[in-house]
Amino acid sequence: MSMKYTQTTLDKVEKIAEEMGYIVRYERGSFQSGFCILEEKKVVVLNKFLQLEGRINTMIDLLPQLKIDADALTPDSRKWYDDIMGKFHSSKDEENSDSSPA
């Protein structure tokens, strides 16, 4: 599945977090990475000034840091989650192979 930067994509990525009980909010603030996680309250706060592509990329970067039980996701969300995590792990593998000594 190729990632398209549309509102539908953002909705699907946000839905993964919401299915795990997280509330996704957009607020003003001085965010270093575009988001913060209030773990005790399961709230994800994203910088409201991010454009659509930035919101999608931030949510994708954020998913590995959330407590996600993939088995509890709906089939559609599970498919998206597996695809996102596959891309995340393959990009991390590339970073690690680039930094390994020759």
Mean pLDDT by 10 residues, the chain (102 residues): 83 96 88 72 88 93 90 96 83 61 52
User: HSE (CB half, 13 Å, CA atoms) of 31?
Assistant: 18
Assess if residue 1 is contained within a domain. no
Q: Strands 23-27 and 35-38, how do they pair?
A: unpaired
CATH number assigned to the domain comprising residue 75: 3.30.2010
User: Residue 80 domain-assigned?
Assistant: yes
Phi and psi at residue 100, to the nearest 5°: -80, 145
Q: Is residue 58 part of a domain?
A: yes
pTM: 0.79
Residue 40 belongs to domain spanning: 7-99
Q: Into how many domains does the chain fold?
A: 1
| 92 lies in some domain | yes
2 within domain boundaries: no
37 in a structural domain: yes
